[in-house]
Amino acid sequence: MADFYVKDAAKHRQKLRRLKPETAQAFASFSEAVFKDGVLSSKVKNLIAIAVAHVTQCPWCIDGHVRGAKRLGATDEEIAEAIYVAAEMRAGAALSHGAIAMATSEAQTQ
């Protein structure tokens, strides 16, 4: 995986885990529990995570969950569809928040 934001990101994440090993383990256990098959399959959960990762713009999450989804049999078409769901949600949020701009503009002209 590429280092997206900082040089030697893996080294810095390891340091973070060394500094708070109990917390790091708790998060790892939580993550493992979340992505186990349940009512939703692990594959579907990874597709959801791909969409969420695009909205939150986490390159590490995109990388990891695409790898996970592919390992679980996801197709490129399923991954693309998840990305388009994310794009629609992000664009929709921008349009919805446009109401704030219009309300502010209206208030300034009164």
Q: Where are the domains of the chain?
A: 7-36, 37-108
Mean pLDDT for the chain?
A: 93
pLDDT tens per residue across span 35-58: 999 999 999 999 999 999 999 999
Q: How far apart are CA 106 and CA 110, in angstroms?
A: 7
pLDDT tens per residue across span 95-107: 999 999 999 999 9
CATH 1.20.1290.10, domain 37-108, yes or no: yes
State the amino acid at position 15 in one-letter form.
K
106 to 29, 91, 110: CA distances (angstroms): 49, 23, 7
What mean pLDDT comes out for the span 17-25?
97
